[in-house]
Amino acid sequence: MDRYTKKKQAFLVGCADWTVSVLNKADVQEFVELMLIKEGIPPDAVRDVRVMVLPPQYRVRGILHGTLHLEAKQVSLYPVLPQYGGFSRAPNRDLRMWEGEISDPSTKAELTHVSIETLFHELLHLKYPNDEQRVRKLASIYYGDFEEFSGTRSRVPRFPSG
Query: In the complex, which residue's CB is closest to Zn ion?
Result: 132
Short-list 69, 75, 79, CA closest to 17: 79
User: How many angstroms separate the Cα of 133 from the Cα of each of 54, 67, 73, 110, 121?
Assistant: 26, 16, 21, 22, 11
We find the least distance from the C-beta atom of residue 138 to Zn ion, in angstroms, to be 11
Within 114-143, the residues that bind Zn ion by CB under 5 A are: 132
Contacts of 146 (CB under 8 A, 6+ apart): 27, 28, 31, 116, 120
We find the least distance from the C-beta atom of residue 111 to Zn ion, in angstroms, to be 19
**AA identity, residue 21:** S
# residues contacting Zn ion (CB under 5 A): 1
- Residue 101 or 132: the one with the smaller Cβ distance to Zn ion is 132
Helices (H) and strands (E) in the chain, counts: 4, 3
- Residue 33 or 132: the one with the smaller Cβ distance to Zn ion is 132
We find the least distance from the C-beta atom of residue 133 to Zn ion, in angstroms, to be 9
Within 20-79, the residues that bind Zn ion by CB under 5 A are: none
We find the least distance from the C-beta atom of residue 131 to Zn ion, in angstroms, to be 9
Decide the pairing of beta strands 64-69 and 74-79. Answer: antiparallel
- Residue 80 or 102: the one with the smaller Cβ distance to Zn ion is 80
Task: In whole angstroms, give the CA distance from residue 30 to residue 28.
Answer: 5
- Residue 99 or 132: the one with the smaller Cβ distance to Zn ion is 132
- Residue 19 or 118: the one with the smaller Cβ distance to Zn ion is 118
- Residues forming contacts to Zn ion in the complex (CB under 5 A) are 132
